[in-house]
């Protein structure tokens, strides 16, 4: 019974998240509401960490595999983007690195300044 | 072969998992950032499909069930987040500033480069939500009049880029604090990057999950404003 209860809880909250999404008019996926719900339930000790730890560890470990179908789908989109492939690639690559470096260095500066104080 | 795949509920999943396993094995042997399991597995699947002349649609029909687990897996990210709650509290200022500045700099970069390339508004809106998780990004793109399928492509490329390059980029720019690393990866490359952060460490993974949620919310709020200006 290491997985049954915990996996059940995670699935219930996923479903709850999808239902919430129907009532809240924001472009936010149900999974984010589910994540918030599980976090709150853990905080309130209504769900115990031990119950969900094993199944969540399993799901997170196999998570990269879940992205493979979408990534392989890029092979069908090549024609669609051929017209503006250069700007797309430049913008995607540059902005990804800018975000990575800006958010990494700014948060690191905050952490180090507080440590020095 | 095409029909076998199209009528199977498992073959595509098995193929994906197997290719990922091979990718993970290569990674432990090679130990370079380019030997990224996700990248290797995507290439292997594409090679396999082309070799046996299987359509993407047939593969997708038998691989979609593994993607269906994405929602519960995202919900499961609450667990490492909760386990790292103390650390999160201690670093609240770093989280807010890091994710805020990162998201803002991303929107600004896309804005400036789109102007530079002379992109139309619809094309700009398509690329705008490229750093957030797919479901949020597609919704934003749709709502503001972009091309959602292209947005999805840009999001996936961003994620793989983050997954492959994040460790190297952190090294080059001397981002060594685990908290800062996680925030950077999650803000820049959403869930695909977060799956990498989880491999690096618990703190990195938890911070990345948090950044993924926060940057998504900021983008939803900021996108409509910046689109009016463009």
Determine, yes or no, domain membership for B136: yes
Mean pLDDT of B47-64: 92
Give the distance, in angstroms, between the CA of residue A68 and the centroid of all CA atoms in the same chain: 15
Residues from chain B that touch A48, judged by Cβ atoms under 8 A, are none
pLDDT higher than 70, residue B151: yes
Determine the distance in angstroms separating the CA of B134 from the nearest CA of chain A, rounded to an integer: 9
Rounded CA-CA distance A77/A79 in Å is 6
Q: Are residues B114 and B8 in the same domain?
A: no
Listed by number, the residues of chain A in 20-39 with a beta carbon closer than 8 Å to a beta carbon of chain B are 26-32, 34-39
B70 to A31: CB separation less than 8 angstroms, yes or no: yes
Nearest to A94 among B73, B113, B165 (CB): B113
Rounded CA-CA distance A101/A114 in Å is 20
**Inter-CA distances, B27 with A21, A62, B32, B165, B193, Å:** 38, 16, 7, 14, 17
Token output for A87? 């700007």
Q: Are residues B90 and B183 in the same domain?
A: yes
Mean pLDDT of B101-130: 93
Q: Are residues A52 and A101 in the same domain?
A: no
Provide DSSP, B35-49. Answer: S-HHHHHHHHHHHHH
pLDDT higher than 80, residue A27: no
User: Is B41:B20 a contact under the CB 8 Å cutoff?
Assistant: yes
pLDDT higher than 80, residue B170: yes
Report DSSP state, residue B55. Answer: -
Q: Which residue has the higher pLDDT, B109 or B70?
A: B109
Chain B contact for A98 (CB, 8 A cutoff): yes
Q: Are residues A62 and A112 in the same domain?
A: no
User: Is B80:B205 a contact under the CB 8 Å cutoff?
Assistant: yes
Rounded CA-CA distance A72/A76 in Å is 8
B97 to A59: CB separation less than 8 angstroms, yes or no: no
**Inter-CA distances, B210 with A42, B6, B33, B138, Å:** 16, 37, 24, 20
Interface-testing mutation among B75, B82, B114, with chain A (most A C-beta atoms within 10 A): B75
Give the residue numbers spanning the domain of B19: 2-68
Domain boundary among B37, B68, B99: B68
User: Is B179:B86 a contact under the CB 8 Å cutoff?
Assistant: no
| Nearest CA-CA partner of A92 in B154, B230, B185, B192 | B154
Residues from chain A that touch B81, judged by Cβ atoms under 8 A, are 35, 39
Residues from chain A that touch B88, judged by Cβ atoms under 8 A, are none
pLDDT at A79: 74
pLDDT at B224: 82
pLDDT higher than 80, residue A2: no
Determine the distance in angstroms separating the CA of B52 from the nearest CA of chain A, rounded to an integer: 15
Q: Are residues A44 and A81 in the same domain?
A: no
Determine, yes or no, domain membership for B73: no
pLDDT at B8: 83
Mean pLDDT of B5-18: 89
Q: Are residues B27 and B136 in the same domain?
A: no
Q: Are residues A45 and A26 in the same domain?
A: yes
pLDDT at A74: 79
Q: Are residues B142 and B200 in the same domain?
A: yes
Q: How many domains does chain A have?
A: 2
Q: Are residues A33 and A80 in the same domain?
A: no
Q: Are residues A59 and A96 in the same domain?
A: no
Determine the distance in angstroms separating the CA of A103 from the nearest CA of chain B, rounded to an integer: 4
Q: Are residues A13 and A62 in the same domain?
A: yes
Rounded CA-CA distance B65/B67 in Å is 5
**Inter-CA distances, B145 with A81, B123, B142, B200, B226, Å:** 17, 9, 5, 37, 13
Q: Are residues A17 and A46 in the same domain?
A: yes
pLDDT at B106: 95
Q: Are residues B59 and B90 in the same domain?
A: no
ipTM of the complex: 0.90
| pLDDT category of residue B48 using cuts at 50, 70 and 90 | very high
Q: What is the mean pLDDT of chain A?
A: 90
Chain B contact for A45 (CB, 8 A cutoff): no
Give the residue numbers spanning the domain of A38: 1-67
Q: Are residues A2 and A58 in the same domain?
A: yes
pLDDT higher than 70, residue A50: yes
Q: Are residues A89 and A111 in the same domain?
A: yes
A56: nearest CA in chain B? Answer: B76
Provide the b/e sequence for B183-216 (b: ≥16 CB within 10 Å): bbbbbbbbbbbbbbbbbbeebbbbbbbbbbbbbb
Q: Are residues B205 and B140 in the same domain?
A: yes
Rounded CA-CA distance A70/B106 in Å is 23
Residue whose tokens read 């983007």: A81
pLDDT at B201: 93
Nearest to A91 among B113, B139, B166 (CB): B113
Domain boundary among A42, A67, A92: A67
Q: Are residues A38 and A86 in the same domain?
A: no
Q: Are residues B41 and B106 in the same domain?
A: no
Interface-testing mutation among A67, A85, A112, with chain B (most B C-beta atoms within 10 A): A67
pLDDT higher than 90, residue B179: yes
Q: Are residues B82 and B64 in the same domain?
A: no
pLDDT at B33: 63
| pLDDT category of residue A85 using cuts at 50, 70 and 90 | confident
Residue whose tokens read 């690329």: B127
Determine, yes or no, domain membership for B210: yes
Provide DSSP, A92-114. Answer: HHHHHHHHHHHHHHHHHHHHHHH
Q: Are residues B192 and B220 in the same domain?
A: yes
Over residues B56-68, the pLDDT tens digits come to 999 999 898 888 8
A107 to B198: CB separation less than 8 angstroms, yes or no: no
Q: How many domains does chain B have?
A: 2
Q: Are residues A54 and A91 in the same domain?
A: no
Residues from chain B that touch A105, judged by Cβ atoms under 8 A, are 173, 175, 180
Looking at chain B, the whole-number percentage of residues with pLDDT higher than 70 is 99
pLDDT higher than 90, residue A38: yes
Q: Report angle CA B143, B146, B148 to the nearest 5 degrees.
A: 85
Q: Are residues B156 and B216 in the same domain?
A: yes
pLDDT higher than 70, residue B120: yes
Rounded CA-CA distance A85/A83 in Å is 6
Over residues A58-83, the pLDDT tens digits come to 998 888 888 888 888 877 777 776 77
Q: Are residues B102 and B188 in the same domain?
A: yes
Nearest to A99 among B78, B176, B187 (CB): B187
Determine, yes or no, domain membership for B184: yes
A27 to B12: CB separation less than 8 angstroms, yes or no: no
Lowest mean pLDDT among A7-16, B43-52, B133-142, B198-207: B133-142
| pLDDT category of residue B147 using cuts at 50, 70 and 90 | confident
């Amino acid at each position: 019974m290491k997985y049954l209860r915990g996996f059940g809880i995670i699935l219930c909250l996923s479903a709850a998240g999808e239902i919430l999404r129907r009532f809240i008019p924001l472009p936010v996926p149900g999974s984010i509401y589910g994540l918030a719900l599980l976090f709150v339930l853990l905080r309130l000790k209504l769900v115990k960490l031990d119950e969900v730890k094993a199944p969540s560890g399993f799901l997170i470990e196999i998570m990269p595999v879940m992205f493979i179908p979408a990534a392989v789908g890029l092979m069908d989109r090549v024609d669609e983007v051929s017209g503006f492939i250069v700007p797309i690639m430049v913008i995607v690559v540059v902005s990804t690195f800018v975000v990575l470096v800006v958010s990494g260095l700014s948060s690191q500066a905050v952490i180090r300044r507080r440590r020095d104080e | 072969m095409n029909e076998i795949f199209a009528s199977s509920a498992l073959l595509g999943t098995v193929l994906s998992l197997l290719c990922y396993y091979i990718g993970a094995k290569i990674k432990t042997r090679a130990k370079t950032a380019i030997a990224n399991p996700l990248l290797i597995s995507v290439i292997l699947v594409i090679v396999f499909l082309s070799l046996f002349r299987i359509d993407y649609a047939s593969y997708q029909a038998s691989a979609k069930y593994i993607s269906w687990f994405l929602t519960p897996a995202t919900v499961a990210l609450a667990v490492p987040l909760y386990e790292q709650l103390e650390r999160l509290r201690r670093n609240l200022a770093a989280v807010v500033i890091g994710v805020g500045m990162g998201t803002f700099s991303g929107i600004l970069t896309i804005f400036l480069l789109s102007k530079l390339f002379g992109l139309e508004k619809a094309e700009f809106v398509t690329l705008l939500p490229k750093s957030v998780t797919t479901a949020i990004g597609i919704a934003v793109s749709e709502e503001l009049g972009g091309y959602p399928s292209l947005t999805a492509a840009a999001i996936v490329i961003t994620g793989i880029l983050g997954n492959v390059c994040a460790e190297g980029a952190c090294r080059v720019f001397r981002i060594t604090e685990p908290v800062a690393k996680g925030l950077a990866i999650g803000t820049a490359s959403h869930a695909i990057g977060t799956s990498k952060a989880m491999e690096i460490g618990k703190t990195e993974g938890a911070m990345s999950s948090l950044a993924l949620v926060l940057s998504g919310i900021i983008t939803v709020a900021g996108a409509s404003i910046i689109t009016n200006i463009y």
